[in-house]
Amino acid sequence: MKWIPRQKIWLTLMIVTNLALWIIPSDVVEKIAREQHVLLGRYSRQHFMWILAMLILTPVSFYVDWSTGDTYKKRWFQVLVTLLILAPVFLLADFLVRSPQSDHYVRDSAAYHRPPNADFTVTFEDKPAAARSYPSNRPGYGTVQCQLHTDSRGYRNQTDNDRYDVVVLGDSFAEGSSVSDEHVWPVQLAKETGLSVYNLGMSGYDPFHYLESLKERGLALQPRFVVCLLYEGNDFRSAKTDAKRHNPSFSKKLGAYFGRSAILNGLENLIINTFGPINSRGTVSGGDVLAWMPLAVPVGENANYYAFAPKQLRDLYESREQFSRDKHWLNPRRQIADMNRLCREAGIEFVLVFAPLKAHVVLPAAADRLEPNQLRSFLKLHYKKDLPEADTFLASLMQNMTARDQVVGEWCERESISYISATESLRLAALEGTQVYYTYDQHWTPDGHAVVSDTVADFLRKRQSRENVGADKG
């Protein structure tokens, strides 16, 4: 058979593309630092999916292109008909395997929630999510059997009353990620104070959702206190992000729908579990930048270990001046002000609790052991701007570490909003040997939840004592 130019060009393009995908590796160090999956020891998940896609596309394209004239048209027709048959079959199968429970969420309003009156059981093991991880993996917190029960409103509560003393707003740090029902700090808070506490926390929430859940459900419970947990990690979002959430594009809706596909997620997990362990213990070129992770706090035989991504250093490197003008603070600040206004109008005291990043808690506890060059190189994996020399960088990082906490606290003082920072209590507990965050997960351990519960309970007891004194004088 004599090849025509079209066939030569297509054959060359297919071969070059396949070779490039196999030969050029992903940035393995960056993926490990961000705790993302690496397949075959050298490819990111997205990179490997392109390899698999090309392995499917190449023989199909050769089958079509390896012909001319009527045969060429016939083969194109065969491929298109096959796709037209397979697409609706997949969509139907995907629809049939979906169930109201499969998503774990009911998205019937801006303040989405979990299925009402449901029970979920999960076994959580504190270990790296990816087979290829830090060069020196350390033991995590261990295994936690997690039981999650939802009430008639679809939130994580054991009681289901019409009124409560305290309503809690927040994200997964309030709802309780990777801990059982009895560990969650709002539950412990109720036991410590004797107050009835209703938890409106929900995984994935941020100040936009806190405000919506307060309006939709929180105010109707007529609490004395609304305690809003503000997470330093991803609660600082711009108005543009919120606008997209109000009116997501068609592509976003489509991506979200297929992102919840049991079939696609099952295939992805199969690929990760099959190809992730292969070459996962091989040498990592440039891996010395990861050698200090996970970080030990405190030092010694009783050390606990904490791992976190470079993004946390990026957030903590922002100065007070930069953060105070940052649109990612100005937008949630407005939403917090709206929550406070609604509470005041209803005669409720609004309380803001600052939940710090894991790095914010543990880095200062190990400041004297940090190697400036290593820390600077670690941040550069996720930071494209110029950084000063290592020693200057470390000094700036430590100086800026409390910037967000301070700026938020000072603003709350000006707005007469009660403010609690959990940073220092978590750090003191970590220094004393309590593992307050999981090693390989960014959330609090059951012990971390207990520390936060103690911190909030101390505030509420003092507030109640003050009210009682005032009532006696009256």
Q: What is the pLDDT of residues 107-163, one digit of tens each?
A: 888 899 999 999 999 999 999 999 999 988 899 999 999 999 999 999 999 999 999
- Report the pLDDT averaged over residues 164-190: 98
Q: Write the CATH number of the domain with boundaries 122-236+283-473.
A: 3.40.50.1110
Tokens linked to 123: 């076994």
| pLDDT one-digit tens code per residue, 192-247 | 999 999 999 999 999 999 999 999 999 999 999 999 999 999 999 988 887 877 77
Domain boundaries, the chain: 1-97+252-281, 122-236+283-473
pLDDT at 98 over 90: no
pLDDT at 101 over 80: no
Element (DSSP H or E) covering residue 199:
strand 197-199
164 burial via Cβ count (<10 Å: 0-12, 13-18, 19+): buried
Residue 240 pLDDT: 84
Top mean-pLDDT range of 96-105, 245-254, 416-425, 460-469: 416-425
With contact defined as beta carbons under 8 Å apart, do 227 and 166 qualify? yes
The model's pTM:
0.91
Band the pLDDT of 444: cuts 50, 70, 90. Answer: very high
- Report the pLDDT averaged over residues 88-106: 79
pLDDT at 3 over 80: no
- Report the pLDDT averaged over residues 85-91: 91
Residue 99 pLDDT: 64
- Report the pLDDT averaged over residues 410-433: 97
| pLDDT one-digit tens code per residue, 245-298 | 777 788 887 887 788 888 888 999 999 999 999 999 888 888 889 999 999 999
Pick 62 or 405 by higher pLDDT.
405
Q: In what order do the strands lie in the sheet with 166-169?
A: 197-199, 166-169, 225-231, 349-355, 418-421
| pLDDT one-digit tens code per residue, 360-373 | 999 999 988 889 99
Q: Distance between CA atoms of 228 and 210, rounded to whole angstroms?
A: 8
Residue 146 pLDDT: 96
Element (DSSP H or E) covering residue 2:
none
pLDDT at 474 over 60: no
Residue 107 pLDDT: 85
- Report the pLDDT averaged over residues 58-76: 86
Residue 223 pLDDT: 98
Residue 72 pLDDT: 84
Nearest to 133 by CA among 280, 341, 297: 280
Q: Distance between CA atoms of 117 and 206, rounded to whole angstroms?
A: 24
- Report the pLDDT averaged over residues 57-69: 86
Band the pLDDT of 2: cuts 50, 70, 90. Answer: low
Q: Distance between CA atoms of 53 and 128, rounded to whole angstroms?
A: 27
Secondary structure (3-state) at 295: strand
Q: Distance between CA atoms of 196 and 462, rounded to whole angstroms?
A: 17
> C-alpha distances in angstroms, 231 versus 170, 183, 311, 357, 454?
8, 19, 14, 7, 18
Helix crossing, 327-345 with 403-414: angle to 10°? 40
Strands 166-169 and 225-231: parallel
Average pLDDT, rounded, for the chain? 92
Element (DSSP H or E) covering residue 225:
strand 225-231
Residue 1 pLDDT: 52
CA angle 369, 372, 378 (to 5 degrees): 105
